[in-house]
Structure formats: structure tokens, C-alpha cells
Structure 1
């Protein structure tokens, strides 16, 4: 059997960085990590010399909308594959394509396109399931979601959606909406992660939702409640609940813009690397030059401007989406938030894998797991991206 061998690298393990070790992969899996002096080469080995650079698990992006000029809501196989290939250049080996609040017709088309694209996806980051973002959101916290399509959860509707696709692995919802708690229980039965998002909930509503399976919070701080007043009384919001519920996991857009340095450090200090996943939440402008772009589908999206490392509304009154890449998230956590490289990598690999319940096969460089590997330099610039033992990008 032909082996993939990675030599001369600084191998990032869950709790240490090892040198003088060899990473051996066979049949798309990691076989073992051995000392350099114990390695016996074979004639047909495929050897990659890491040249003293870092060797890490492949990056897992659990919330992403687009990149390379494409958006998943474009509804074409070309768009899906283009996004996967674009983000492979930045170290992403696994991604969860994410929808926007839309019409039922667009959603069904997205399901059908996903089924086709995942079979043809051999050159980019692997699709590991769909994330539905909406339409069950608070109108007060809709953000860039189209308010025309917002609604409350109705069993006949969401059950029909669940019957239409077996690829959904997470669904973002405002838990304070009538019917959302019942929906959380239904999603649990389908082994789908209910996630709190675009919400005006207070702490008491979040604790109720947590018991119903809402154990994760989508893009913490973005489109959600904090301390508020109702009839003169103060109430804690979703942000406070994220910290008070110890086992609640969160994801953050760690581009240094959606959350500046103090907030990145605040989240990290109180939640820690085991409860934080980094996500890009990237739109089509990721990996593209500055200038005009479109948030959402080409047919029904809205114009935005990309500048200063983020997408903005045309009047520059608010952010309109991220153009981050996974390596940028790691770089930001290390260089801006002063987080150790080991823990920044954990938040981009093992923690999202655990949240999505795929950590038995992905998220760390361990024997028996998928050979998803990324090699990068001291500035987190990607040199090689390897998905299930196949090189899908080389600088």
C-alpha cells in the first residue's frame, strides 16, 4: 500500500508540539507517528518534506456561506465546488455549507445541489453536512438575514424540511420564538444540533432552550441580546448566558474586526479553547479583492462593499459579512489575542469536531483518524492542504 509520509515538521498534537517525528498515513487514514530514527522508507512512499514548518490537523469550518466569488445560495454545483476549492487554499479540509433565510424553493434547490456537489467534490474541502441559518429568527435581530422570510417554527413546516434532506447537521434558531423549544427536541431526535442565533432571548429563555438541546451559540456577540430592560427591570441576555452556562459552546468570527482584541480575549478567558470554535462565516468575498460584492445569492442577494478586511453595507453603517479564511482566524487568535498556537489550532480543529460529533474521525493528528492535514509557516501561511490523504493544495 502506498504511504503518505510527512517528515521534518513541527507536529501539533492536542497538548504538545513534537519535533523529530514522522507522520505516516495509509489508505486516507493516519497510521502512526514515529520517531525519525525509527522510520524505514519504502520505494513507493509519497514523501512531503515539511521543511521545519508546522504540521497540524486540517481546519474545520462549521459556519461558512461562500468564497472565491461564490455563495452556496447561488444554488449551483459550480458555486459549491468553487467555495470548497477556494478555502482549501487557506487550510480548510472540512466545511459545513450554510444557508441564509430564503424561500422554500431556494432551500429545496440548495438541498438538491448539495447532494450533487458532495459526490463531485474531489479537489476542495470536504462537505460534512448542511447548516440551516433561519428562517426562525427574531425580527429585532435579523442582521443581514432577509426579514421577508422570517417566521415562527411550525411542526408541519420544519418536519417537511427535515424529510427533504438527510444532510442537515445543525440548525440556527432564535429559541424565544413560540414553538422553538419543541423544535429543539425534534432536532435532537434527528441528531441535529440546535444552535442559538439572531435572537432577542433573555437568560431564562436560554436556560430553558439549553435543556431542550440548544447547547451551542452561533457567532457569539453578532445579532443577539445582551443586558436589556423590560418594564424597568434588567435582564441578562444571550451573551451573559453563554458565560453562565458552563457547558454551552460558542463559535466566534475571529477576524479581529467582528470581535476586536478585548472581546476575543474576554471570550477566551471565560470559555476556553475546549468550548470555543473559530468559524469564518465567510461570504463570497473571501479570497477576493476589495470592491463591490453580493451577500447571498446572485439572484436575490444585496450589494455590499469589501474593505478593511470585512464586508460592509453600502452606506458603511454596519458589517454585512465576513471575508475571513480559517488560517486568518488562527493567525488573529495567536498574534492579536495572544493565545498559544496549540490552543488556537484546537479551536479550529478538535473543538468544532467535538461540537459536531465527528471527533472520532477528525480534529486531531491521531492514529485511526482521517488524514486531514495542513502544513503552514510561522505566519500561518498555508503551504500544503491534505484531505483524507490527498494533497488538494500546494503553494
Structure 2
């Protein structure tokens, strides 16, 4: 549903600095017109009574692979659109679709399909650009990434990919590999976020990488070196480096499984809400029943099993992806990590907006910014989701469809 003007009233409005009880948010033309602690008299507006629930900026997912049975590596525009439509139900109003390690042809195909999907995406989470996760990774830290495609940075390859599109906004790589520092400088020169990931790097290598543009750590703790020993001497790994280097931002899979509550608390205590983004890292099984699934493309992806609210390799030797949704991340930070709601919301709104350099238009409720808004209850259950001024999800409407058997 789309309206020229929307007035949201009687809500607990969450800003980066406070929660406004009984606040009002006025929207017009896809933008926020005003945010006030008082009622705003207005005519000819669609009025929404928040009924005392929380009104917050839409959630921004920096790292997501799929959901609702689809994956961004499926080689199909409809898969992109399906993922966006599934995750908008859980409060994700913006996302950065993410690939897996693959051959050059598949990378080129993914960015080509992203461009097509971006032009058609009107019913789901907005796309902010594409994130290439790999294939330049440490084999020892590949996790569930397919070892057939793990390799060192190839200038001919990555330049060809980046010359084919302007939609790549982020690329994750292991900074210790031959050619990775040159790769980081090249990305930074093109305004693309370089991130360390699937890495065995020690502190000295991460520090050098930071100087070459690697300012972000992909899914902290997952597929990443910790303290290591070489010839009896201890070395700080990538995890400790991300903690020590104040300039580096991090992201965490706050599903309560990839990182248990003590580690969620530790990351928040050290890095804080301004340097930590919450991500789902969700694969196709997000929002689906447990059972067998596939990580990556349907035609050549990795078979996995979803149980205990996480995807695992069939032999259960390793996690193989998250099935989290954005609402769960916020709920876990509040209920498992004892983080104040205002900070938990910041970690999935204004912080990722700053990391992706879109804070001028997204990430907070302020006049002039995009009207991406979520309304949820005390348990972070979504009631309404608005993207660009369009009401794309309403819990009551979904309930009525379910009861009607549709």
C-alpha cells in the first residue's frame, strides 16, 4: 500500500539519543517530514496509531545471502526479489546482498543479476549494493565456503568484475594473502568497503591491511584467527586486532549460536554500539522450517541441515550459515546480552548506515531521511514495516491472510 502522506502517532519513537514517549513521525513522498514529541496536526494523511509500540528506523542488514528458500547465488532475478520480500517481514528495510566464493563467471553473473533485480525491487527490502564475500580467502579459514573456488587476489579478475558494474559496495578478503594489500588499495580508490574475512592474519598483518583500506571485520569470530603460537611465541590474531584497532568496525552474527551470550557481551563492551553492526548472514533457509537445505546456488551449492536454529554441515562438524532474521538479532542483544534497546537498535540502523556511507539518508528517524520505519512490540515482533514511505508489511493483514488459508 502506498500513501502520499502518513502520520504515525502514539509511539515510543527511538532516536540515536533517546526514546520519545507518545511521539509522532510524519512522512510524505517517501521521506520523513518531521519527528516530534508532540502531536502534529495534519490533514489528508493516512494515520497509523502505534498503540504505544516502538517506532524505529528500518533495520539495515550489511551481510545476507538468502531467505525464504532463495539465495543470491541461484542465478535468477526472482531469487533476489524473493529474499528481499521475505526479510522485509522481519524489519529489514535495506540490505546488501552477498555472494559466496565462486568462479569468475558466477561473480560476473551475480553482479549482472543484481543490477536487474535492483531495478525491479519494489516489494521488499531496498538493495544498497552488492557484497562479494570471497573468493580471496585463507583455505584454513574457509568455513563453509567451497574450497574449489578459494584463491589469491587476481588483479585481472577483480578489475574485470568491478569494470562490469558500479553496484559493488563491499568486498571481503583475507588480508595476509599475496596481492591482498594491493587489492585493498584498489577497492578503497573506487570507494568500495574493504573488509577482512576468512583470515589467518596476525596483528601486524591486520594493522598493515588497515593502512591499505581494510577498515571493517566481517562476521567477527567466525572463520577468523585468534591468538596463535609460532615457535612457542604467541601472536594476536584477527579477532584481537579488531578489538585493539579503534578505527576498525566489526559486524557480528547475533543469533545466539554463532556467538553465545558471553561473546555478544564482550564485543559490545569493547567495541560499543557505534562500532558494531548486527548482521544475519542468513542463507536460504531463513524464515523456513528446519530440515535439509542448500548453502549457495541450487545447482551446485553445499548440502546442509538446519537444526537447533542454525545451518550445519551434514556431518555436523561445523556451522554452515545462519538462519537468523533481523528482529532476532535485536531481541538477542537485549535479552541475551543485556544491551539497552536504544543501543541494540543503533547496531542495526545508524551504525551500519555509517559503515556503508549512507547515513545521510538512512539509519535514523530525522527530517529529510528516507521513510524506512519499523513498528514493533516489547519483544521485537514486527507490527508494521515501511520502506521508502510504502507500507510493505502489516502483521494484522498477514494474520488475516493466514486465517483465510491464503
Note whether the superposition's TM-score is higher than 0.5. yes
Alignment of 1:147-296 (within 5 A): 147-296=147-296
Alignment of 1:58-69 (within 5 A): 58-69=58-69
2:138 is the counterpart of 1:138: yes
- Partners of 2:35 and 2:111 in 1: CA distance: 39
Match in the other structure for 2:128: 128
Give the number of equivalent residue pairs.
393
2:5 is the counterpart of 1:3: yes
2:56 is the counterpart of 1:32: no
Structure 1 counterpart of 2:23, from 16, 21, 24: 21
Match in the other structure for 1:86: 86
- Partners of 1:290 and 1:36 in 2: CA distance: 46
Partner deviation per Cα, 1:96-133 (whole Å, 9 max, x = no partner)? 00000011121111111111111111100000100000
- Partners of 2:13 and 2:351 in 1: CA distance: 18
| Cα offset, 1:317, TM superposition | 1.5
| Cα offset, 1:232, TM superposition | 2.2
Partner deviation per Cα, 1:176-235 (whole Å, 9 max, x = no partner)? 001111111110110000000000001000000001110100000000101111222211
- Partners of 2:96 and 2:224 in 1: CA distance: 22
| Cα offset, 1:21, TM superposition | 2.0
- Partners of 1:85 and 1:22 in 2: CA distance: 27
- Partners of 1:63 and 1:107 in 2: CA distance: 16
- Partners of 1:171 and 1:153 in 2: CA distance: 11
- Per the alignment, in what secondary structure is the counterpart of residue 74 of structure 1? coil
Unpaired runs of 5+ residues, structure 2, are 396-406
Alignment of 1:36-47 (within 5 A): 36-37=38-39, 39-42=40-43, 44-47=44-47
| Cα offset, 1:166, TM superposition | 0.8
- Partners of 2:246 and 2:145 in 1: CA distance: 29
Larger CA deviation: 15-24 vs 341-350 = 15-24
Partner deviation per Cα, 1:65-116 (whole Å, 9 max, x = no partner)? 0000000000111100100000000000000000000111211111111111
- Partners of 1:159 and 1:224 in 2: CA distance: 26
- Partners of 1:249 and 1:148 in 2: CA distance: 30
- Partners of 2:96 and 2:36 in 1: CA distance: 32
Paired residues of 2:281 and 2:322 also in contact (CA < 8 A) = yes
- Partners of 1:337 and 1:351 in 2: CA distance: 18
- Partners of 2:160 and 2:324 in 1: CA distance: 34
Match in the other structure for 2:303: 303
**Please, what is the CA RMSD of the aligned residues?**
0.9
- Per the alignment, in what secondary structure is the counterpart of residue 262 of structure 1? helix
- Partners of 2:48 and 2:382 in 1: CA distance: 14
- Partners of 2:156 and 2:75 in 1: CA distance: 25
| Cα offset, 1:315, TM superposition | 1.4
- Per the alignment, in what secondary structure is the counterpart of residue 347 of structure 2? helix
- Per the alignment, in what secondary structure is the counterpart of residue 83 of structure 2? helix
Unpaired runs of 5+ residues, structure 1, are none
- Per the alignment, in what secondary structure is the counterpart of residue 73 of structure 1? coil
Paired residues of 2:20 and 2:37 also in contact (CA < 8 A) = no
